[in-house]
Amino acid sequence: MSAPLLSRRKLLQHSLLLSGSLAATRAFADGWPALPQSDLSAVELAADEAYWRSVSAFYKKTDGIVNLEHGYWGKMALPVEQSYIELTKMVNHQLSFYARKDWYGDSKDSVNAVAESLAVPPEEIALTRNATEAMHNLLFQYKGIKPGDTLMWADIDYPAFQRTMAALAEQRGATGVEITLPAQASKQQLLEVYQDKIRSTANLKLMILTHASNQHGLILPVAEIAAFAKQHGVDVICDCAQSWGLIDFTLPELNVDWAVFNLHKWIGSPVGVGALYMRKGTLDKVAPYPGETDPDNTLVHKRVHMATSNFAAFLAVPDAIRFHHKVGPAAKMARLKYLRERWGSKARNMPHIEVLGATDDASASGMGAFRLAGQTSREQINQLQKRLENEFGVFTVGRYDLSSGSCIRVTPQVFTTLQEIDALVDALASLA
């Protein structure tokens, strides 16, 4: 008689930051280099090249190109990748026996890992396939929009969300208003722009706030803007698709009722994992997904309906978060900002280069953007991207939705070397 199948729960018990899955534990214990211990502050550690070489040993890099486009999705660390492979095998072998018996319980491990890392109760978190899915559900299931109301977004918001807000306004008989932010801005300037616009906009009901812009990495003072919006009766949805893992923060610090996340960007989970946050007591404003019911308005997961999804990708989330914390959220943020400043500080002294985004540390992230002075069209940016790739071996991506014009986005990762950043600097200098 064959041995009975063991559930993944028995084989792969997770405990955030203490004992990852069996696969992840094997990966760390079986020959992978350990990260050195350091007493340095995050800012000091950002310049410790030996430490970041040790981090880079956990990744397999793209061959044949200086890849400075990691904002699309993030690379899994090798131990997380190994865990994902083992979990994929387990799901493939057990099939519906696993899905019907153990998936629901095991998925709570991933919800708990997300909630613990973001410092909120797990009852306020639901897993999604990406931030876009979570945002669209929040917007189209939001109950409060009536004819004559106003919806607000900004030119730095994710383009698909801008279009969705405009479509929602049209469907509900509301008015859509877009905020144009400066191409270069400080925290105080950003706060003043939003406060002035909120104060002067009649019947403002709902707005999107992007924590870190996918266009140029600008960080909004979300907590301050959200507090001001609440004083004026405005509901806020925070887009954290790019920010979690790029910035070191917890949800209570943002002071928002609803937020959406990608875990496959800077957290480093497998592709196809996101999350939705809804603060307790706010669910009555957002209807359950069509066909779902939640009479007491307490079940966040009833606001989404993913159907059959990539089980293994979701199961690998605790391992991705564990590795994220192993490197250190503050250290990651500081390192990525350090790399941005290495190329940005030099580019700002080149008369032919315009660096976009933050003008102060509070508004800066590890993402940045630039363009040749006066060249703002999509066509010019596409040509610039091709030149960087074909002539200099530096891969970047064009972004096209800022009111000030198109730009090239630069997104290094924790395994990016100073030599790779300097290759970009040399390329920019050669464009004069």
DSSP readout, 184-244? EE-HHHHHHHHHHHHHH-TTEEEEEEESB-TTT-PBP-HHHHHHHHHHTT-EEEEEETTTB
Which pLDDT does position 17 carry in this prediction? 34
Which pLDDT does position 369 carry in this prediction? 98
Residues 18 and 111 sit within 8 Å (Cβ to Cβ): no
Identity of the residue numbered 210:
T
Picking from 306, 248, 224, 268, the residue whose alpha carbon sits closest to that of residue 119 is: 248
Task: Give the HSE-up count for residue 182: Cα atoms under 13 Å, Cβ half-sphere.
Answer: 15
| 132 plus 244 within the same structural domain | yes
Which pLDDT does position 19 carry in this prediction? 36
Which pLDDT does position 7 carry in this prediction? 45
* CATH number of 399's domain: 3.90.1150.10
3 state SS of 360: coil
Residues 213 and 368 sit within 8 Å (Cβ to Cβ): no
Residues 6+ apart with CB under 8 A from 354: 183, 370, 371, 372, 373
User: CA torsion sign, 243 to 330 to 224 to 123?
Assistant: positive
From 268, 287, 321, give the residue that closes a domain: 321
Q: What share of the chain is helix, strand, coil (3-state, %, to 5)?
A: 45, 15, 40
18 within domain boundaries:
no
| 147 plus 186 within the same structural domain | yes
Query: d(Cα 141, Cα 260) in Å, to the nearest integer?
Result: 15
258 within domain boundaries:
yes
Domain count, the chain: 2
Residues 362 and 217 sit within 8 Å (Cβ to Cβ): no
Q: What is the mean pLDDT of each run of 10 residues along the chain (432 residues)?
A: 43 38 45 78 96 95 95 95 93 94 94 98 98 97 96 97 97 97 97 98 98 98 98 98 98 97 98 98 97 96 94 96 95 98 98 98 98 98 98 98 97 98 98 94
Which pLDDT does position 316 carry in this prediction? 96
Which pLDDT does position 31 carry in this prediction? 57
| 231 plus 380 within the same structural domain | no
143 within domain boundaries:
yes
Structural domain harbouring 386? 331-430
| 135 plus 178 within the same structural domain | yes
70 within domain boundaries:
no
Which pLDDT does position 35 carry in this prediction? 82
1 within domain boundaries:
no
Which pLDDT does position 57 carry in this prediction? 93
User: CA torsion sign, 124 to 129 to 130 to 133?
Assistant: negative
255 within domain boundaries:
yes
Picking from 278, 207, 274, 286, the residue whose alpha carbon sits closest to that of residue 241 is: 274
Burial class (CB in 10 A: 0-12, 13-18, 19+), 267: buried
Residues 391 and 65 sit within 8 Å (Cβ to Cβ): no
Which pLDDT does position 34 carry in this prediction? 76
Which pLDDT does position 32 carry in this prediction? 61
Which pLDDT does position 382 carry in this prediction? 98
Overall pTM surpassing 0.85 (yes/no) = yes
Six-digit token string for 376: 């703002």
* CATH number of 177's domain: 3.40.640.10
Which pLDDT does position 48 carry in this prediction? 96
| 312 plus 336 within the same structural domain | no
30 within domain boundaries:
no
101 within domain boundaries:
no
Chain position carrying tokens 């069996």: 22
Residue 177: enclosing H or E segment and its boundaries?
A: strand 175-179
| 128 plus 226 within the same structural domain | yes
From 291, 321, 351, give the residue that closes a domain: 321
